[in-house]
Amino acid sequence: MSARRTVSLITLGCARNEVDSEELAARIEAAGWQVADDADAEPSVVVVNTCGFIESAKKDSVDTLLAAADSGAKVIAAGCMAERYGEQLAEALPEAAAVLSFDDYAEIGDRLDDVLAGRPVKSHTPRDRRTLLPISPVERSASPHVHVPGHGALADLPEGIAPASGPRPPLRRRLGAGPVASLKLASGCDRRCSFCAIPAFRGAYVSRQPDELVAEAEWLAASGVREIVLVSENSTSYGKDLGDLRALEKLLPRLASVVERVRVSYLQPAELRPGLLDVIAGTPGVTPYFDLSFQHASGTVLRRMRRFGDPERFLELLDRIRAKAPEAGVRSNFIVGFPGETEEDFEALSSFLSEARLDAIGVFGYSDEEGTEAAGFDGKLPQDVVDERVAELTALAEELTAQRAEDRVGETLSVLIEEDLGDGEWEGRAAHQAPEVDGCVIVRGEGLRAGDLVTAEAVSAQGVDLVAELIAGPVSGPVGS
């Protein structure tokens, strides 16, 4: 592979960024460049798809950019951090040959040519991307084109240009193998959570068309994908800009007819309508898995966060889910040490977790994010108090999720095999476990391979992970949970 027109893509952050990188890869190939698959390749340009969510993610992004520059390649910063800071990042990080906006993605080939030739690339001035689209969601589809990463189609390419590896339904080039892939349902967010800066640099909420999603799912299935994970900033809002609040309820059965397992992520509890709950809990091929964005349990803290709910409402929602699907998996993330959080608020959160029986729990300490409402709040807690509460809740979460895994011993699981561990053991995920963020199942059996869907019985737990004995498999065709 020639190094002169070879690009290496490094992706940081969430699954949404991974989809964006795969669109970038397709556009790069369409422009006549090669994307390096070999980790040992020596590319002429490294594109780092950065994360700009919280301070630790931004630090990781900067460290990765500097490490890439040390390799001798020319380095381009793309992604959320680049979009959020633009020319500010370019000034602070002269090691980067270019800092790109999302609006540069459609012309990524030209930007790569500029960088390779040593021509300067002007960085953008950061602005609130929510202002680029109409306030009314249903008016957005008729608005002038605004580039939304991960929503590309072949029709978006310049006339006469096609991807180097041949025509494909989506403008996407898989950067990894394996039986699981993310599918971007929508981008952006219309919520105004006081701690979150994402809407300002990701923009207003934009849904992808159902037929486009089904076509991309068919392409993924043809490439060996057996589980699709639907990702967005807020999946429960899907379809509101298409004029159909039941669009996700209609879409899920269509996707389940294409691929064996469909999983939905990023659900807002306040927007989880009864009809959508029924479809996720009861549709064959759709995993009864609920990634619920609780963020806290104290009603007082949640109101300061510009969110809704309290322990009673959240527990009632969990009861409704488990009444429909007793085996359902539930995960959530929580922010500890939010401005004004009292000992009583913290105790309310701890008590809620003890009752909720969640399968996976993420705990994060609050930190100010510039441009957010919460950054100006009074009642900021000392950092040592935040750290102490994070440690305490993390320890509780580990205990509770390990107990939840113990409760699943004896269950019959449908497991998607992902990796051969050797000695007759295989790592996979059951329906209640999302890839990468949750636990796993170690299946004991012979003659399996990655991509097999098997039936196994959970015989023991190791923390949040389960050990299971193979009962039957592999399974072909659409399966349930």
**Confidence at residue 196, expressed as pLDDT on a 0 to 100 scale:** 94
**Confidence at residue 459, expressed as pLDDT on a 0 to 100 scale:** 98
- Integer Cα distance of 359 and 321 in angstroms: 14
Half-sphere exposure of 63 (CA within 13 A, CB side): 7
**Confidence at residue 3, expressed as pLDDT on a 0 to 100 scale:** 47
- Integer Cα distance of 210 and 336 in angstroms: 37
**Confidence at residue 381, expressed as pLDDT on a 0 to 100 scale:** 98
Contact yes or no for 119/192 (Cβ under 8 A): no
User: What φ, ψ does residue 246 adopt, rounded to 5°?
Assistant: -100, 15
- Integer Cα distance of 385 and 377 in angstroms: 17
Q: Which of 30, 13, 314 is nearest to 155 (CA)?
A: 30
Q: What is the DSSP letter of 235?
A: G
H or E segment at 217?
helix 210-222
- Integer Cα distance of 443 and 457 in angstroms: 9
Please, what are the domains in the chain?
A: 6-125 (3.40.50.12160), 179-407 (3.80.30.20), 411-472 (2.40.50.140)
* 196 has binding-site annotation: yes
| Rg, Å, the chain Cα set | 23
**Confidence at residue 56, expressed as pLDDT on a 0 to 100 scale:** 75
Partners of residue 457 on adjacent β-strands: 412, 469
The DSSP bridge pattern shows strands 289-291 and 261-264 to be: unpaired
How far CA 350 is from CA of 290, 359, 366, 403, 436, in Å, comes to 20, 15, 16, 15, 25
Residues of the chain with pLDDT under 50: 1-3, 164, 166-168, 477-481
- Integer Cα distance of 399 and 351 in angstroms: 13
- Integer Cα distance of 303 and 102 in angstroms: 32
**Is residue 474 reached through a cis peptide bond, with omega within 30 degrees of 0 on the bond before it?**
yes
* 440 has binding-site annotation: no
- Decide: helix, strand or coil at residue 78: strand
